[in-house]
Amino acid sequence: MHITFLVVSAHGHLNPTLGVAAELIKRGHRVTFPVPAAFVGAIEAVGAEPVRYESPVQQMSGLPQRVTGSFFANFQLRLLTEALVVAPALEQYLVGDSPDLITFDTMSPFAARVLGHVWDRPVVAMTPSLVSNEHFSMREMFARHGVTAPADDDPAIIELRERFGAFATGHGVPRDRVDAMGTVLSAGAEPQIVFVPRWFQPAVDTFDDRYVFVGPCLTDRAHQGEWEPSGAGPVLLISLGTAYDRPEFFRTCVEAFADTPWQVVMSTGTWMDPAALGALPGNVAVYPQVPQLRVLQHASGFVSHGGMGSTMEALYHGVPLVVVPQMPEQEINAQRVAELGLGRMLRPEEVTPAALRTTVSELAADGAVRARLADRSRQLRATDGAAVAADTMEIYAKIASGGE
């Protein structure tokens, strides 16, 4: 088959899909993958074909200190703007060569829904985060954290509907197939591949078989470079991902662990100048980005923002988490980590040098936490999530094409 992946151009959304792409290619399938230039190396490393485009999302500045419903509305508008760039780039690249299956990120369904209609091809959804139904709602969880859905008359929502409506109907989608949320109505039958394990999803028994919980699908990321410990002390990874500019947080971390036995590896993200941290103690190394999987292989602790990708990678490697969430979704992940006894949460306002140092040290010394992490790590390693995801795609493509 020929499968096209349509994924949000951010590490936390693209990285979970790389193992699936690699598995499909190993089985003899062709994978095309629209990406901006920053991700071409990752796509080529797994053997997929990159389709290059300029991403409006990649040009965004670091995420704000506090997110609101209006922020999410504007972010969805940004994703639509990206889809309006991706769709023509893909149509031009694949003229007369449309894929057999489209798989897409649920955060940005725009291009996949329209091109699926144009090419008359089945689509499969993917999500790197927790999923919702009538029993567990991320929207309700966000509301509990003070973030409500944007109003119907929010200017960004109005613009999104208008622009998506023009995009969809301009590609021949009937007006009655375009819904009020700015997407194309689906039959609701396609599977959704979820990159978290069943045991991490709240209310998991209420989700039907359309939801396929595959867990993290990690693959070698040699393109990110190598990393080895430089000393004998325990390794502590500190990262808030690539989207946040938080120099005050990293200065607190430096103060917390300066001249301690910890070998601190700090990834400050692409929006912050590491020079803002000033002179560093000898046991602290700072980088804009690190080969995270390589570091986690050696780590005894991870201070993280709680993005689902980082959370799953830590649990896969059995590394205790101190989660300092930067937005409501990450706080929900942090609460789940704490509920399962796999780490602790520190809200940003609770972060002090003493609190960080004490929490990291207590977790590293907690035998019960280490035992639970080892058990969960074994479970994740025993499941070939990439193979399950690839099976799901193959089976659904066959059913959708009229096969048995």
More confident residue, 50 or 78: 50
What SS3 state is found at 32?
Answer: strand
* Lowest mean pLDDT, pick from 80-94, 224-238, 338-352: 224-238
How large is the average pLDDT for residues 384-391? 98
Whether residue 236 sits in one domain with residue 370 = yes
pTM, full prediction: 0.93
Contact 180, 160 (CB under 8 A): no
Q: CA-CA distance, 300 to 360, in Å (whole number)?
A: 9
Assign 146 a pLDDT band (cuts: 50, 70, 90). confident
Assign 177 a pLDDT band (cuts: 50, 70, 90). confident
Mean pLDDT value across the chain: 92
Portion of the chain with pLDDT greater than 70, in percent: 95
Q: Which domain holds residue 307?
A: 224-382
Q: Which residues contact 58 (CB under 8 A, 6 or more apart)?
A: 9, 36, 38
Whether residue 177 sits in one domain with residue 117 = yes
Whether residue 246 sits in one domain with residue 195 = no
b/e per residue 134-171 (b: at least 16 CB within 10 A): eebeeeebbeeeebeebeeebebbebbbebbeebbeee
Whether residue 198 sits in one domain with residue 229 = no
Portion of the chain with pLDDT greater than 90, in percent: 75
Query: Domains in the chain: how many in total?
Result: 2
- 11: domain CATH number is 3.40.50.2000
Whether residue 92 sits in one domain with residue 136 = yes
pLDDT surpasses 80 at 74: yes
How large is the average pLDDT for residues 237-242? 92
Assign 182 a pLDDT band (cuts: 50, 70, 90). low
Whether residue 358 sits in one domain with residue 375 = yes
pLDDT surpasses 80 at 61: no
How large is the average pLDDT for residues 363-386? 97
Q: Which strand ranges, in their side-by-side order, compose the sheet holding 299-304?
A: 284-287, 263-267, 235-239, 299-304, 321-323, 343-345
Assign 24 a pLDDT band (cuts: 50, 70, 90). very high
What SS3 state is found at 272?
Answer: coil
Assign 228 a pLDDT band (cuts: 50, 70, 90). very high
pLDDT surpasses 70 at 274: yes
Whether residue 233 sits in one domain with residue 196 = no
Whether residue 67 sits in one domain with residue 38 = yes
Whether residue 190 sits in one domain with residue 253 = no
Q: How many other C-beta atoms lie within 10 A of the C-beta of residue 133? A: 11
Size (the chain), residues: 404
Whether residue 197 sits in one domain with residue 117 = yes
Phi then psi for residue 197, to 5 deg, are -75, 160
pLDDT surpasses 60 at 354: yes
Whether residue 204 sits in one domain with residue 230 = no
Structure confidence at residue 232 (pLDDT):
84
Assign 230 a pLDDT band (cuts: 50, 70, 90). confident
How large is the average pLDDT for residues 161-179? 91
Whether residue 312 sits in one domain with residue 187 = no
pLDDT surpasses 80 at 180: no
More confident residue, 74 or 315: 315
How large is the average pLDDT for residues 232-250? 91
Assign 64 a pLDDT band (cuts: 50, 70, 90). low
Structure confidence at residue 200 (pLDDT):
98
How large is the average pLDDT for residues 197-211? 97
